[in-house]
Structure 1
Amino acid sequence: MPVSRLMPDELGDDLITLVRQIADKELRPRVDEAEAAAARGAELPRDIFTTLGAAGLLSLPYAEEFGGGAQPYETYLQVVEEIGSAWMSVAVGTSVHSLTCYPVAAYGSPEQQAELLPAMLSGETLGAYCLSEPLAGSDIASMTTRAVGDGTAYVLNGTKSWISHAGHADFYTTFARTSDDGGRGLSCFVVPADAPGLSFGTPERKMGLHCDPVSEVLFDNVRVDASRRIGAEGQGMAIALSALDSGRLGIAAAATGLAQSALDLATSYAKDRVQFGRPIASNQGLAFLIADMAAAVGAARASYLYAARLRDARRPFSAEAATAKLVATDAAMKVTTDAVQVLGGAGYTADFPAERYFREAKVTQIFEGTNQIQRLVISRHALGG
């Protein structure tokens, strides 16, 4: 079933058509086997990102002069949703890569943008976003990874955790402490993957999203040229929070795509499955369940599109981004759970993707800020805090 859209222009329609063609040809035929293989230890399917990059889909919201697609965020997020409806791990990876480019695009000097963005946006490289630490997840200000100035460079030491693309990325957008002034003591760096002293932990054994490998990133006297510090010393917290507003919209869009696929599977199964001489979809109790699922998907889509339009209009959107992330990921969890219920015993088997959708949905309520953190952000805006 095609996902319903409100595209801003003809170019957007053409772009979505392209994404659907790639999803049908390159993503859907591979997703089940690749996810199962990755659960057994197979590598990141890097060729998929190469394909997306060649199509210009890894750099859509960034300036054309540096190799981006110069697309509105509303359009970019609909592309992420389409990818998420076909392969959630790849949609998350697409969102993560966009997040890694944001600090340079938004806070980098003209010289840094000219030097770094063309490679970041080329479609041939993949980034990782190093913010979380073993003891600093939601509490960013408590991070302990440290960057100490040494002449024309900084020396980084510490550990980042839960990092997508760790060991596979070409660069690492990294936040480290440059002073002990709490959250005002953080700074942002772009660390090349071949920097001596950079290493990686054992990949985490996760419930789902197996093709989104996650592990620790270890900094052991890693020297980074001062020209790769993005923004001023102490500006890292502002950069990280600003980036997360946009990143949360990427996760909201991906979660919406996942929920749409679960809805499509449930409706198709309900129309085909016959019990007591009629399709189970004709039972009002089940039909109402599907109606609630459809309403949840629609509400998720509306919430991220609204936030994206605010962002495109250069209006404040932090609360709306948190709302979109909260609404869309809670919807993904509910809709995937209900899809398993609609399929009954079949939904609990690996013969249908419902159980994979269910496993993939859970983490969306956790990463890019837990949904409890989203409620904190929303409440502070609502209460004027």
Structure 2
Amino acid sequence: MSRADRTILTAAGSIDRRSFLQLAGLTAGASALGAGLAGGAAAAEPFRIGWVRPTTGRLVTSFNPLYMGGVMAVEEINAAGGILGRQIERVEEDDEALPSKEPGIVRKLRGAGIHYVVGPTGSSQSLSSIAATTAAKMIQATYAAAAEAGDGKRYPYHYQLLFNTDQQAEICVDYMLKNQGLKKIGVLQENTAFGEQATASTVKYLKKAGVEPASVQVYPINAPDLAAYVSNLQKAGVDGVIAWIANIPNAAMIFNTMKSLNWFPPVTGHSGLFLPSLFELVSPEAVKNVYGTYYKSFTWNATEQPGERQVAFAKKLAEIPGAKNNEVNIAASPYYDFVYLLKHAIEQTKSFEVADIKKALDSTKDFPGLLGKVSFTPENHSGIALADITLASVSSGVDKRAMGCMRERAPGL
């Protein structure tokens, strides 16, 4: 018996009534305090997000930089106190960039009580994962450019925060036909799922404008020489090329062939063409008329400059050693905006429940993301509007104003 306990006993060894009531009050107070502390501890439990990326396999080097923006967002939010007092915890899962591994990873995360997922990256990997997260009702953002990934009816728990193949094709076709006034458009496509999807969208928008492609060339990404495909476009009398190339060595072969032919038609394509490593394989002259799809917020022209947030983001990237030469891919990734959008939805609803967050996300209107204003409806989960997408000059990557992830808009935009 403690000294405190002994003080409430009478000489007869019984408990004094006044002392008993005081003890009861103290016990009740202690119980309430304990409950409060327990509740505080529960509230302070980390907010866990599944983080699906390859840490082994052949695509580690290519895919891992795409998650840096998401990591930056997590660190910024945690440094500012977290989300409703809870720190974000990334629960890493290695998918080896294999579509076959995605369903198992989703089951593992769901079994661990995780309801929110960042990744995977790649259209094939993402679509495999989305099918599983849809069934499990897990909210997710992937790096998938496939237009179907933004279908809110088909995938009600997946949110696409980047431009898709349909939007990229529409921007490219519109630029060639309306801005440049060209009539004979050729398509050059790698033989991948991305290439097939982008070309199908390109042909759709060309035909919608009453134009048949002058030539469609499909090349294998492991081909040792692409001169024949470029030559076929020139022979077809093509005056503009829409090129779906996501591989720098292939791009270098194509642009060096054009230079050797002294043929420099306007070329539009994917933002992967902005990687600085391209300039190690081609001269700036070879890409002087080459433009890639990009976000207006990260571009400049004679009258507009990149936004303050985007400049601050670029400066922060410059301080991260692993970001060098990957700045465009990091900036164009959807994960930074997704993490902040989750924070916004949770704070708006004051809830971490999936149903509440989904309702908030489905009614998002003009959320100020790095890549543009993000809006969703229950049916449309493609959040980036066409108005926030543009074409930018590949050669402007060597301009001092580029800051790694900025680019100059194509002429006339």
TM over 0.5: no
Larger Rg: 2
Which of the two has greater helix per residue?
1
